[in-house]
Amino acid sequence: HRLRGRVAGLDQEIFVVVGLDARNVVLDEVEVARGSLTGVDVHPREVFRPLIRMAAAAAVVAHNHPSGDARPSAEDLELTRRLREVGHLVGIPVVDHVVLGERGFTSLAEWMGIDF
């Protein structure tokens, strides 16, 4: 809910990382990229840099769709796969990727049927 309030009404996509401690308590929330109406370029190094600095045990990533449609795109699914791979390599698992729309959100963990 906190993230939805942050991105409501924006006309550009933003990408946010949320660092979690070992008990899944939020450590911090950091905007790592801002894009256009139809997309945002996200690089794994920009995602994991703040997570490493805050000593996160796990992460949730999220971005909005200014169109209002919370369904993930093919690019969203591919980015999720890449971030999960990098997360396993650096020891900070990505436990979910949430796409925020005007009327709701989609958890890619549920959408992809993955036990993050």
Domain boundaries, the chain: 2-111
DSSP 113: T
Question: Which CATH number applies to 2-111: 3.40.140.10, 3.40.50.1580, 3.40.50.150, 3.40.50.300?
Answer: 3.40.140.10
Instruction: Please report the sign of the dihedral spanned by the C-alpha atoms of residue 21, residue 24, residue 25, residue 28.
Output: positive
In angstroms, rounded to a whole number, what is the distance separating the alpha carbons of residues 58 and 38?
Answer: 28
Residue 111, token pair as written in the block: 């959408």
Residue 81, φ and ψ in degrees, nearest 5: -60, -45
Q: What average pLDDT does range 107-114 have in this prediction? A: 78
pTM of the model: 0.88
DSSP 72: P
> What's the pLDDT tens digit per position in 5-58?
666 678 899 999 999 999 999 999 999 999 888 888 999 999 999 999 999 999
Provide the pLDDT confidence category of residue 114 given band limits of 50, 70 and 90: low
Alpha helices in 8-104 (DSSP H): 44-53, 74-90
Smallest CA-to-CA distance from 70 within 39, 97, 100, 37 is with: 100
Smallest CA-to-CA distance from 17 within 90, 103, 69 is with: 90
> What's the pLDDT tens digit per position in 71-109?
999 999 999 999 999 999 999 999 999 999 888 899 988
